[in-house]
Amino acid sequence: MKRKWFSVLDLAVLLTVLALSLGGFLWLRTRERAESVSVFCGDECVFTLAFEDVEEPVSHTLQTERGTLTLLIEKDGVCVTDAACPDGVCARTGKIARAGESIVCAPLGVVVVLSGDGTVDGVTG
Amino acid sequence: MKTNVKKLTRLALLCAAAIALSAFEGLFTPLLPPGAKAGLSNVVVMLAASTMGWLPTLTVVLFKAVFALLSRGAVSAAFSALGGLCSAILLLFLFRYGKLLGVFGISLLGAFTHSAAQLLLSYALYGAAIFAYAPVFLLLSVPSGLITAAALRATLALSSRRQHQGKERKI
Ligand SMILES: [Zn+2]
């Protein structure tokens, strides 16, 4: 028996993956407030900072193999102020503030991610 | 003896193809951390898993990991090895026993497992921050699975035409 290209079970698998991803997106939306910022360069996490430790806006410059990228971290969000990439997409993303949001600089291979602590906004304990 | 040489040659070709595709992928700088790749080189793992069995498949995975180690460092190698091993084992199992699954379903499950294993490693290395990425990362296994399945089909069709069999190889 030759294996089919696309079977009924495949459709079930596809729908399950889509449902899992969509569920993940919705779950992230419930964690409005970002608790910390993490910066990835290539495959490695090179920088992490909790927003509660930010009193005054801090500027952080990253040296990557392909150039530098400067972040401005404020009490309520992060933006890329300057980057050595040719497209400038990361700087144009603007400020991100909610858990699950990210800024991607593809040419430099840098990704800035905001994460929450898992609690829903307003629920502290 | 002759068949062994033939098998070995084919395995060497597959390893070379996997490395070439990995390098090609590397040109598209990471759009997603950490170690997320479009999974083009998974085509080769699929090909090995569907037509050649356990040992050649795991050899290809190992070659990919060594290439990642040499070109991108130890962290990338760990991502490559873990994602590769988990998906390869699942692929081998499904090609053997997943009678009701189509090529696309197997490919999708392989890509999904690849991503999920890498997410778990990211979590172990970097903590919960990585879950902000999980949905996009897992969703990407859909196009990745589609592309891999289509490429596998094209490759098999081509190779069977080469052998003048006029029909596709059974997988
Ligand atoms: Zn940029």
Q: Is the pLDDT of residue B19 over 50?
A: yes
A36, A48 Cβ separation under 8 angstroms: yes
Amino acid at residue number B23: A
- Spatial distance between the Cα atoms of A11 and A5, rounded to a whole number of angstroms: 11
Mean pLDDT of chain A: 84
What is the spatial distance between Cα A64 and Cα A74, in angstroms, rounded to a whole number?
22
pLDDT attached to residue B153: 85
Mutate to test the interface with B, among A2, A3, A78 (most CBs of B within 10 A): A3
Determine the 3-state secondary structure of B156 from DSSP. helix
**Beta carbons of A17 and B32 less than 8 Å apart:** no
Q: What is the pLDDT of residues B32-80, one digit of tens each?
A: 544 455 567 788 899 899 888 899 999 999 998 998 888 878 888 888 8
Beta carbons of B132 and A4 less than 8 Å apart: no
Reported as a single tens digit per residue, the pLDDT across B73-100 is 888 888 889 999 999 999 999 999 988 9
Beta strand pairing status for A102-105 and A110-115? antiparallel
Domain around A54: 36-115
**Which class for B77: exposed (0-12), middle (13-18), buried (19 or more C-beta within 10 A)?**
buried
Residue B110: is its pLDDT beyond 90?
Answer: yes
DSSP designation for A83: E
Pick from B34, B133, B153: CB nearest A43:
B34
| Other beta carbons within 10 Å of B71 | 13
Region B112-137: what's the mean pLDDT? 80
**Structural domain tally of chain A?**
1
* pLDDT higher than 90, residue B7: no
List the beta bridge partners of residue A44. A41
> In this predicted complex, what is the ipTM?
0.78
Query: CATH no. for residue A78?
Result: 2.60.320.10
pTM as predicted:
0.75
Q: What distance in Å separates the CA atoms of residue B66 and residue B32, rounded to the nearest whole number?
A: 21
B8 C-alpha to center of ligand 1: Å?
44
Q: What b/e string do you get for B15-50 counting C-beta neighbours within 10 Å, with b at 16 or more? A: bebbbebbeeeeeebbebbbbbbbbbbbbbbbbbbb
Contacts of A38 in chain B (CB under 8 A): 126, 129-130
**pLDDT tens column, A40-93:** 887 788 888 999 899 899 999 999 888 999 999 998 899 999 999 888 888 888
Tell me, yes or no, if B75 comes closer than 8 A to chain A by beta carbon.
yes
A38 and B129 in contact by Cβ < 8 A? yes
Binary contact (B168, A2; C-beta < 8 A) = yes
Compute the half-sphere exposure of residue A71: CA atoms within 13 Å on the CB side of its CA: 25
For residues B80 and B35, the answer to whether their CB atoms sit within 8 Å is: yes
Mean pLDDT of A12-22: 93
- List the single residue in A with minimal CA-CA distance to B135: A21
In order of start, what are the domains of chain B with their CATH numbers? 2-28+38-170 (1.10.1760.20)
Question: How buried is residue A122: exposed, middle or buried, by Cβ count under 10 Å (0-12/13-18/19+)?
Answer: exposed
Higher pLDDT, B91 or B140: B91
Residue B91 contacts A, CB cutoff 8 Å: no
Chain A residues within an 8 Å CB radius of B108: 10, 13-14, 17
In a domain, A21, yes or no: no
- Residue A15 is assigned to a structural domain of this protein: no
Q: Does B34 touch chain A (CB under 8 A)?
A: yes
User: Residue A84, by phi and psi: left (phi above 0), alpha (psi -120 to 50) or beta?
Assistant: alpha
Taking contacts as CB-CB distances below 8 angstroms, the residues of chain B near A4 are 102-103
In a domain? residue A75 = yes
CB contact under 8 A, B138 and A99: no
Strand partners, A45: A40
**How many CB atoms neighbour CB A92 within 10 A?**
10
User: pLDDT digits over A31-40, tens only?
Assistant: 667 888 989 8
Residue A124: CB partners within 8 Å, gap ≥ 6? none
% of residues, chain B, pLDDT over 70: 82
CA of B162, closest CA in chain A: separation in Å? Answer: 19
Question: DSSP assignment of B131-145, as one string?
Answer: GGTHHHHHHTHHHHH
